[in-house]
Amino acid sequence: MSKARLMQGNEACAEGALAAGVKFYAGYPITPSTEIAEIMAEKLPLIGGTFIQMEDEIGSMAAIIGASLTGAKALTATSGPGFSLKQENLGYAIATEVPCVLVNVQRAGPSTGLPTSPAQADVMQARWGTHGDHPIIALCPSSVQECYELTVKAFNFAEEFRQPVIMLMDEVVGHLREKVELPDAVEVVERKKPSVSPDEYIPYANNESMIPAMANFGDGYRYHVTGLTHGENGLPTGKPAVAEKYLERLTRKLDPYLDRIQLYEEILLEDAELIVVAYGGPARSALEAVHAARSEGLNVGFFRPITIWPFPQEALEKYAGRQFLVPEMNSGQLVGEIERVVGRRQVQRLNRIDGELITPDQILQRIREVMTHVQ
């Protein structure tokens, strides 16, 4: 039976990880994500798992990849500056297809910025922060309950798709305490192990599923893992044809699964002339504003991408032709993608970058302005 509890967003994230079966955490403290590490330090040794505080974020990212190769579900958490530092090894995990979950509790930047204030300014970095072409999954919770649920999903996606998954939280939800009801059991996905003998194992097989089976280090399947462009056998290659095959699969491996990966929420869209697109903490302000606008008789709707990357393009595309308002706690990031999808002229921006949560009033105000224009 589920029981209602008061829980912080970071705590719910940690609990979600535990529910999903996390066995290894490596991290380096940074506000406002540190609570996740602290909970892991306390709980992992109790369940036979391992917590290690590394010398920096680079080492933390490296360590979770190493642990994941031995079969452990692995987690790390950080914020802006640490997220920047993890980019090189995040790219390594992507290139070598090692499942893991990386939480970024966004704070206001750039640089050290306002370490204890919320922002949504790493949204584009989550997509493009590491060098080279690569696929990425980033999930963005708006509530404490969702911190829990999406962390479970993040692990499941990571394991199923052999893909690092980013939990793109923000300080608002990370530090918020809220009533949650945790389920007694959650659906947990385990990575696909090889079904063949070691002799027949092809570690980076180009199979139909696009997702090769993954053996644990130490389980008898000896294979090579490298960040160099590699062939199906895992060994490095400089041959353009082999490189292309690998990179084609890598960059498109999520395509067959997009409908399951791209999560979003739609509210009051049917007759909406204006659609407010919001995510993360500010989505709560947006929803409040949408309800307020409705009560003023304005035909406004609400679209919330829960999966930020890959951006749920098809879902939003359906509404092309309507007006859009995109409030963000940054100087305009995801809005670029929305403009790309529904056309630049249809989109209004609303940005706040002073480290304070955008308010329902601010959004309502803009809704009113836009709607007068529309009419």
Q: Which of residues 42-71 bind another protein (CB under 8 A)?
A: 42, 45-46, 48, 50-60, 62-71
Q: Please, are residues 236 and 230 in contact by the beta-carbon 8 Å criterion?
A: yes
CB 82, min distance to ligand TPP, A? 5
- We find the least distance from the C-beta atom of residue 82 to another protein, in angstroms, to be 9
Question: What is the C-alpha to C-alpha distance for residues 105 and 32, in angstroms, rounded to an integer?
Answer: 6
With CB under 8 A, what is the number of residues at the site for another protein? 80
Q: Which residues pair with 6 in a beta bridge?
A: 179
Q: Buried (b) or exposed (e) across 200-236, using 16+ Cβ within 10 A?
A: ebbbbbeeeebbbbbbeeeeebebebeeebbbbebee
- Give the binding site for ligand TPP (CB under 6 A): 28-30, 57, 81-82, 85, 112
Q: Segment contacting another protein (CB under 8 A): 14-22, 27-35, 258-266, 319-327?
A: 27-35
Taking the complex as a whole, the smallest distance from the CB of residue 42 to its own copies amounts, in Å, to 28
Binding mask 340-369 for another protein (x = CB under 8 A): -----------------x-xx---------
Sign, Cα dihedral of 137, 138, 142, 148: positive
Provide, rounded to whole angstroms, the least separation between the CB of residue 85 and ligand TPP.
6
Asked if 146 touches another protein (CB under 8 A), the answer is no
Of the candidate spans 21-29, 151-159, 265-273, 326-334, the one that interacts with another protein by CB under 8 A turns out to be 21-29
Strand-by-strand arrangement of the 74-78 sheet: 50-53, 24-27, 74-78, 100-108, 164-170, 137-139, 307-309
| Cα 226 to Cα 104: distance, rounded to the nearest angstrom | 26
Query: Is-contact 161 26, C-beta < 8 A?
Result: no
Question: What is the Cα–Cα distance from 122 to 104, expressed in whole angstroms?
Answer: 9
CA distance 31 to 6: 21
Please answer whether residues 45 and 70 qualify as being in contact, where contact means their C-beta atoms are separated by less than 8 angstroms. Answer: no
Q: Pick from 11, 18, 23, 328: which binds another protein (CB under 8 A)?
A: 23
Interface ranges with its own copies (CB under 8 A): 58, 80-81, 83-85, 87-88, 91-92, 94-96, 106, 108-117, 119, 121-122, 124-125, 127-134, 226-229, 238, 240-241, 243-244, 247-248, 250-251, 330-331, 333, 336-337, 339-341, 343-344, 353-356
- For the bound state, the minimum distance from the C-beta of residue 309 to its own copies, rounded and expressed in Å, comes to 12
Nearest of 323, 338, 335 to residue 368 by alpha carbon: 323
Q: Strands of 36-112 (E only): list them.
A: 50-53, 74-78, 100-108
Please say which residue, 108 or 215, places its beta carbon nearer to its own copies.
108
From the list ligand TPP, another protein, its own copies, none, which binds 132 (C-beta under 5 to 8 Å, kind-based)? its own copies
Nearer to another protein, 115 or 135 (CB): 115
With the CA atoms of 148, 152, 155 and 159 taken in that order, what torsion angle do they form, in degrees rounded to the nearest 10?
A: -170
81 makes contact with another protein (CB under 8 A): yes
State which of positions 267-286 bind another protein (CB under 8 A): 281, 284-285
